[in-house]
Amino acid sequence: MFEESTTKSERGATDWLIRIGIALAFVYIGKDKFDGGEWVGIFQQIGLGQWFRYFTGVVEILGGVLVAIPWTVAAGLALLVCTMACAAAADFYVGHPEFCMIPGGICVALVLFWIHRRD
């Protein structure tokens, strides 16, 4: 019984740290979309207009915030997984298959974390 509570508290602390890391990363990356920089050129190549850059920034910030809140983690992870899958597809479609590995890898990591949380 003592071992079970220790395991749960360790998993809770690890889960909390991973969630905060995901939240901070996506809030930062989403905020970076509003600053422009290299993102203007990337979204220009995608061809959907700069509104899509702002939309993506909002979605990433929202997903990061949802992951940080304990009762909305699944919704946040689902939103971020869809975002990263679309980012990988967009990179591949635009003609940069070497770059699609980054959002694709993040997508896989988020799915694995999501599955791990369900156990």
DSSP of 46-99: HTS-THHHHHHHHHHHHHHHHHHSGGGHHHHHHHHHHHHHHHHHHHHHHT-TTT
Question: Is a pLDDT exceeding 90 seen at residue 61?
Answer: yes
Element (H, E) at 107: helix 101-118
Q: pLDDT band for 2, please (50, 70, 90 cuts).
A: very low
More confident residue, 94 or 30: 30
C-alpha dihedral (101, 102, 104, 108), degrees to nearest 10: 120
Q: pLDDT band for 117, please (50, 70, 90 cuts).
A: confident
The per-residue pLDDT for range 9-30, each reduced to its tens digit, is 456 888 899 999 999 999 999 9
Domain ranges of the chain: 2-118
Burial of 56 from C-beta contacts in 10 A (0-12 / 13-18 / 19+)? buried
Which single residue is written with the structure tokens 């983690």? Answer: 73
Share of the chain above pLDDT 90, in %: 57
The whole-number pLDDT of residue 119 equals 66
Question: Is a pLDDT exceeding 60 seen at residue 5?
Answer: no
For the segment 34-63, the average pLDDT, to the nearest whole number, is 90
